[in-house]
Structure 1
C-alpha cells in the first residue's frame, strides 16, 4: 500500500472513530440528561462541539490544516431572498457572481458558506454544492413556482439531520457579502460569534442610498437601514465597498453619526463586467420576435422598477422623441425589471397613460441571464438614468457587450462607466434628450463610441473579483491589531431598546440594541423588545459612579386571554429581584441598586417571565408574549439634575425626549494581546 493510500485510509478511519464516539456521547447525554448537574451537561455539550470540529466529513478533515486561513461568507440574506424571489437583482447578482467563482479561484484558503439558523439560534454551515445548484437555477429562469426550484430552495433552508451549530475557529474572518439589514436580531448573532470566537467581521457595503438619499426609498426601509447602519458602525472591524463613491458615502454617513472610519479600513472591490457564469450560458435563447423586437431596433434600460432608477425620465424622453420624429423613426425602449420597488407604480402609470408611448416602450420581467445576454448583444445602445447608485451593473454589462451607454453623472456611475460612457447632468431632461437623440440619429457618433469601447474596454471577470477580494481582505486583516469584543460602556442616561425611527441621519443618533445579550430577545419593535421563554439578557460596562439601574418593563398586550404576570431579574453582581408584578397593558420601572465599586465593571442581568409558556411562536421558537423591555436608565452617584429630569419625564409621560438623548456608543471593542 502506498503512502497516499495509507494516509487516506488513516483519515477515513479517524473520521469513523470520531463519528462512533459522537454517537456514544449522544447516548450518554440522553441517559444522564435528567440526573446530572447543568455544569456536567455543559461539559458534555462542549466535548460534542469539539468532536464536531474534528469530524464533520472527510473533505473538511483533509482541509483541517487550512482552518486558520478560513474565510466564512455569510449568505443569510441571500437564502432569505430565495424564499420569496428567484431572479436576482443587483446585490444578489454580485453575491452569486462571487460565490459561483470563489471555490474555483482561491487557493490556500478554506472557504465556508454559512447562515443564521433561527431554529438552532446559531450559525450553521451551508452546503456549497446545494447552494450553487440554487444559484444556477436562479439565473436560468424566472418561474418561482417551478417544482424543481421550490424543492431546491426548501432543501437549502432545511438543516441536515444531526447538524450542529458552526464553531468558528479562533480569529476567523466572517464576510457578509449581501444586504443583512433586513434580518431581525442580526447583530446579536454577530456579537455571539465575536464573544465566543473573536471573529473579524467585515460587511460588504454595496451602498448607503437609504441614508444618503432617503427621498428615493420607502420611509420604513430608511428607518430599517439607519438602524442597521448604526449597528454596523458598532460591530464591523473593517469594510468592503463596491465603489469609491460608496466608500466616500459610508465615511460621510459615519461622520454624521459621530463615528470616524479610517479610509484604510475600507477596501474597494468593484464588481465584474460579465453577466452570470459560464455554467448559466447553456440553454435556449428566446427569439427577439417573441417581444416584437428585431436586431438594433430597440434601446435597453435595465433596473428595478422604482423612483430612484428614473424610468419615468426615460419615458418622458421617449414621448418627446415620438413628437419630434414620429413613431416609426424612434426605436423601442425596453425596460427590464426583476422586481418593483418604491414608487415603481408611477412609471407603470406613465407608460399606460400614453398610447403613443406604449407603441414604443415596453416593460419586460422575469428575464433570465441567457435572454439578457441576447438582448444586450442585439440592442442599439443602453440608457441608465438613475438618480443614485452604489455601483451600476447595467453600465459595465453594456460596455461588456460593446454597447454605448448613456448615464447620469452622479455617485458611482462615472466609475462604472470606465470613462467610456456618455454622461449627462443628473436631473436634466434636456441633457438626457440631447444625448439619446444624438445616439439614435448620429450613426457616426454611435459607431465612434462603439469603436472606443472595443479598443479601451477592460474585461473584469468574477474570478478576478474573487482574487481581488482575497487580497484586500488579507491586506486588511493580516498583521493588524485584533480587537476583542467587550460590552460597551453605558454612561448615565436613557437607552431605548426600540427599533429605529429615524428617517434621516442625525448627529449623535445611536443604537442601544448593542446592549442586548444572548438570543433570548424578540425583534425590536416600536415599544421595545419581547423576551423569549428562556429569558433575555443585558450586558454593559459601568462607571464606578453608577449605583442604580432602572429597567423599563412592558406588560402583556391588551388581549382577552392575557393576565397579569410576574417576572424575575438576576444580576452578576449578586442582586436578585423576584415576583415583580407587571399588569396587562401597563408599564413598570424596576430599580436595581448596585454595590459600591472602585473601578469600571461589567454588569449583566437576565430577565424572564413566570408565564412564558403562554407565548406564541416566532421564527420557529416560542416567544413570551407577556413581558417586554422598552429600555433602561443608568444613574450615577451625585448627578441629581439627571435624576430630576428622569423623574419628570416618567411622571409627565415624556420619555420620548430621553429616547432622543440616548448617548452615543463610540467604541465597543478593545485591543487584545497577540496570542
Structure 2
C-alpha cells in the first residue's frame, strides 16, 4: 500500500484501496455560482493553459454540460461592488477557440495575440462604462443570487490581493455558502520550491480565505492531509474537506496525422512546466549516466515539453554546457492540445520526477494515452498513477536510473506494462469529476458545512 506524507507532518494516509464516500443527490433548488475572473483573464494572455488554468478549461465546460441549468457564472474584482455576470455562451466560445489551436506557428500566435488584445480592450471599455454607471452589474447579481446558494472558486484567486475582502463582503451581503477548490498548498508546505514572491502572497491569501470557506475541495487525499495539518498548526477551524479526483486526459481535437512530431528520433517524454520543483536536472544527470553506460546511439532522446519557469538557472547552464547532451535532450514550448496529444502517442514512455504535487496531471494523462510512466512517489503522485506506474523517491537518482534503464533495455518490458494499462486502466472523464463535485454540494443539504460539523459534534 502506498502512503503519503509531507515534510511538516508525521501523518500518513493510505492512498489506495479507499472506497469512495457515498454521496446524496444534489439539492435541486440550490444554484451554483462559479467565480471565474482569473479563468477569463487567462484567455487574454495564455496561448497554452497549464496547471490550474488547464484544470478549469476541462472542468468548467464539463460542469456546464452536465449541470448547466443550475450553474451561473460571474467575475469578482477588487470589491463587492465589482461583480459581473458572464454567459455560458461566452465561456464556451473562448474554450472552443483555445482548443481549436492545431499547431504553434508565428502567424497563428500573432493572430491570437491580436484577438487577445482586442478582447482586453473591450473589457477595458466595459469597465469604463461600469464606472460611469456604477452598481449595475452588482444589482443584477443581487437580484439573481439567493441565500443558501453555493459560490465556488476553482482558480488562482490569490492573484487578486483584494479577493478575500471582496468575497467576504459579498458573502455577508447575500448569505451564500462558499466552497474553495484548493489544488495544493505547496507555497506554504514547500516554500523553497516556488517563486520567492509567490510564497508570502499565497500564505496571506490562504490565511484570509480559510474563515470564508464552508467547505473545501482538493484533488487528492494527500493534499487534504497537508491542508488539514496546516490548518491545525495555525489554530484554524477545519471545514469539511472532500478530495475529488481530477479527470484524465485532455478534451483535445481529433488526432491529426499532419501534426509535426516533437522529435523525429525515439524519445521519452516529460510534460511539465520547467521549474525547480519538477526536478528536470535529475533527469539530465540520469540521461548522462545512461549515455556513458550504453553509448549515445542506444539511448533515446529525452523531450521536455513545457514552458520555461523559475529557479532553473542551474538546469539551463547544464544544458548549455553540454549542448543539451549533444542533442539528446529536446525542449519544446507552447504546445497546443493536439500537439501534446501527438507527443504522448508517439513517445516510448513518460517520466515525472517531481518533488511535490497537488495531483500529478501528466501522470494520469500518460495513462489515459496508454503510456507507461515512471514517476516520483512524492505527495499525491501515487494517487494519480495508482498501480500502473513505477515509483522512486524523488531524491533517489540511483533508483530512478534503475527503473528507467529497465524500461529502456529489458526486452518486452514496456509492451507488458502497456498491455496492462490498455486492459485495466479506466480513465476518469471530466464529466465524472463534475458530477462528484455537484454531488458533494448536495451533501451540504441546504446548510453550511460548518453548521453540519457543529451539529455532528
TM range (shorter): 0.7 to 0.9
1:129 corresponds, among 86, 89, 107, to 89
CA distance in 2: counterparts of 1:171 and 1:136, whole angstroms: 32
Cα offset for 1:260? 3.5
Greater shift in the superposed pair: 325-334 or 158-167: 158-167
In the other structure, the counterpart of 1:321 is 290
Kept after mapping to 2: 8 A contact 1:351/1:358: no
Corresponding residue for residue 85 of structure 1? 46
Within the candidate set 146, 149, 174, 1:172 is matched to: 149
Residue 590 of structure 1 is matched in structure 2 by: none
Q: Distance in 2 between matches of 1:359 and 1:258?
A: 52
CA pair 115-372 structure 1, distance change in 2 beyond 3 A: same
**Structure-1 residue corresponding to 2:251:** 276
Aligned runs of 1:272-351 on 2, under 5 Å?
272-277=247-252, 280-281=253-254, 285-288=258-261, 291-294=262-265, 297-337=266-306, 339-351=307-319
Deviations 1:91-126 (CA, angstroms, capped at 9, x unpaired): 11111101122221126x521111124599422112
Match of 2:360 among 388, 392, 395: 392
In 2, Cα distance between equivalents of 1:336 and 1:154: 32
Structure 2 residue 213 is matched with structure 1 residue 236: yes
Matches within 5 A, 1:525-674: none
Aligned pairs for 1:459-538 (under 5 A) are 459-475=427-443, 477-481=444-448
1:212 aligns with 2:178: no
- Which 5+ residue runs of structure 2 have no aligned equivalent? 1-26, 131-135
Distance in 2 of aligned mates of 1:154 and 1:438: 54
Question: Separation in 2 of the partners of 1:352 and 1:267?
Answer: 45
Give the Cα–Cα distance (whole angstroms) in 2 for the partners of residues 170 and 251 of structure 1: 28
Q: CA deviation at 1:151?
A: 3.3
Q: What TM-score do the two structures reach when normalised by structure 1?
A: 0.58
Deviations for 1:402-441, whole angstroms, at most 9, x for unmatched residues? 1100001110000000211111122011111111111111
2:98 counterpart of 1:138: yes
Structure 2 Cα separation of the partners of residues 402 and 152 of structure 1 = 38
1:185 aligned onto 2:162 = yes
What CA distance in whole angstroms lies between the structure 2 residues aligned with 1:159 and 1:69?
30
Identify unmatched segments of 5+ residues in structure 1. 1-65, 485-669
Q: Any conservation in 2 of the 1:216–1:342 contact (CA below 8 Å)?
A: no
Normalising by structure 2, we get a TM-score of: 0.84
- Structure showing greater radius of gyration is 1
Distance 2:334 2:99 in 1: 10
Question: Is the contact made by 2:280 and 2:315 (CA closer than 8 Å) also made in structure 1?
Answer: yes
Which protein is richer in helix relative to its size? 2
Task: Find the counterpart in structure 2 of residue 151 from structure 1.
Answer: 118
Q: Deviations over 1:220-272 (max 9, x none)?
A: 2110111011112221111000001111111011111111415xx01111111
Check conservation: 1:242, 1:269, Cα contact below 8 A: yes
**Given that residues 134 and 153 in structure 1 are in contact (C-alpha distance below 8 angstroms), is that contact kept between their aligned partners in structure 2?**
no
Q: Secondary structure at the match of 1:443?
A: coil
- What is the distance in 1 between the residues matched to 2:120 and 2:362? 27
Q: RMSD in angstroms over aligned alpha carbons? A: 2.5
Count of residue pairs the alignment pairs up: 411
For residues 61-76 of structure 1, the aligned pairs below 5 Å read 68-76=29-37
Structure 2 distance, partners of 1:171, 1:158, is 34
Q: With a CA cutoff of 8 Å and minimum separation of 6, indicate the structure with the bigger relative contact order.
A: 2
Deviation at 1:171, TM superposition (A): 1.8
Distance 1:293 1:154, change over 3 A: farther
Question: For 1:414 and 1:391, how far apart are their aligned partners in 2?
Answer: 9
